[in-house]
Structure 1
Amino acid sequence: MINEELLTAAVRNNAEWCGSMCRAHGLTTATGPRAWTSPHRTPLYYPDAVSLAADATAADVVTGIDLTGPGASVKDSYARLDLAPEGFRPLFDATWIGRPAGAPAVPAPSWTRAGSPEALAAWAHAWSGGDADEAALFRPALLDDPAVTVLAVPGADGRVVGGAVLSTGAGATGVSNLFAADGTDPAAVWAAALAAADPAVPVVGYESGDDLAPALAAGFTELGPLRVWLAA
């Protein structure tokens, strides 16, 4: 895939992952040609709308979402929208990343699939740093989604010290929620994620700040900017 195709795959894969998370919380979403939207407030950290096309308009992303109170958010996938007139402010910027199909270039540490409610709870506890409210984001219903794999990297004592979520869709594997705890090298977690991904399809995602460099070191390239907006 060329970068433009990878970017499209990254955007649409991420929207599908947002849909998976919403379904795990009992929410119904809608996907149109230029936007993915949820008519109900989405789970913590997940957008109420995602633009799916570079020519999407403000109307495409704000129509059909709940604006009756503060807190709605929009993922502006191409960082081209001006949502200030709609009552939004920029929350953060990030960078889409992609890696072409192919086997990982470096050995990976051992990893397991958090495939039971108990294993998912342990994973979520590690991901959240022990924050019960954040850990509750990952509900057991997520395990019933065949497109989702929750990957855990165990430490010497068996505790989860790193992990990520892999989600298939739009002809790619998406990597999200990647974390490295207790001094774990992020490079090891990225290697595990790539080892768990299907080598026949590209791997995509997005990162920002200090988390971008380890992804690039793992063989990803920058595909383009995105911006998340938050309603006042």
Structure 2
Amino acid sequence: MINDPRDAPDGAAAAAARNNADWCDAVCRSHGVAGAIEGGLWASARRTPPLYPDAVTLSPDVAPGDVPGRIDVTSPGASVKDSFGVLDLSAVGFEVLFEAQWIHRPATEPAPRRAGGWEPVGGVDRLLAWEAAWSGAGESAGLFRPALLDDGAVFLASAATGPVTAGAIAYPGADVVGISNLFAADDDLDAAWRSCLAATDRLWPGVPVVGYEGGDDLAAAVRQGFTPVGPLRVWLRADR
């Protein structure tokens, strides 16, 4: 029996999509770009920061023609996150960039054992070190700005001080905690998920955890108690 609507597949996918849209909005606002929700669609009329979509659907009822008028399709790189995998945007100039699955881990799932002690990063210097480790290039490009630390985002790192060797971003909202950008320098994603989930259980006890993954990353999440709850598809504006 499902006692929490967030644990139902449809409810879990919808909560994950809304949490992700809120996170995208937070990143955009930190760069001075405003987005808005209207007609089941979060969208920004201005191009968003790198790696972040210009629109996120919040309802499977959004039609392909509803999207182009809400975003900037005149500059290269516009993208749309179809949160329910139902849109066909090829007729309006987009092509599929990748597909993935929303994932959900109920609050009743016990925290993993033998997990490392991940801690929230504090301060600008530590945030820069986190982004440098996440990028894999040993440098920060300023994608994740300090304003996010005051906007509910928690950047989890493998250690409070010293080198950052693993981490993730946790963002609470829509009655769930969304996890994104999980990484591990040693590629041990199972250990990274265990440490991440131990931290979320400590920081947000009794709250479901969501995100999206594909391929080997999805398999690692499933091994740590997540369930795939629905498809998503990211569309990229075709190069004209």
Q: TM-score range by the shorter chain?
A: over 0.9
Q: Is 1:35 matched with 2:41? A: yes
Amino acid at match of 1:179: F
Equivalent runs, 1:66-105 vs 2, <5 Å: 66-102=72-108, 103-105=110-112
5+ long unaligned stretches in structure 1: none
TM-score between the two structures when normalised by the length of structure 2: 0.90
Equivalences for residues 1-232 of structure 1 within 5 A:
1-102=7-108, 103-130=110-137, 132=139, 135-145=141-151, 147-154=152-159, 158-181=162-185, 183=186, 185-197=188-200, 198-232=204-238
Amino acid at match of 1:14: N
Aligned-pair identity in percent equals 51
Contact 1:162 1:184 in 2 (8 A): no
Q: CA deviation at 1:223?
A: 0.7
C-alpha contact 2:105 2:210 (8 A) present in aligned 1? yes
RMSD: 1.6
What is the Cα deviation at residue 131 of structure 1?
5.7
Q: Which runs of 5+ in 2 are unaligned?
A: 1-6
What is the CA deviation profile of residues 90-125 of structure 1, one whole-angstrom value per residue up to 9, with x for unaligned ones? 111111100111341323201121121000000000
Choose 216-225 or 100-109, whichever is displaced more.
100-109
Cα separation, 1, equivalents of 2:145 and 2:173:
20
Tell me if the contact between 1:34 and 1:60 (Cα under 8 Å) persists in the aligned partners. Answer: no
- After TM superposition, the score normalised by the length of structure 1 is 0.93
Give the number of aligned pairs: 228
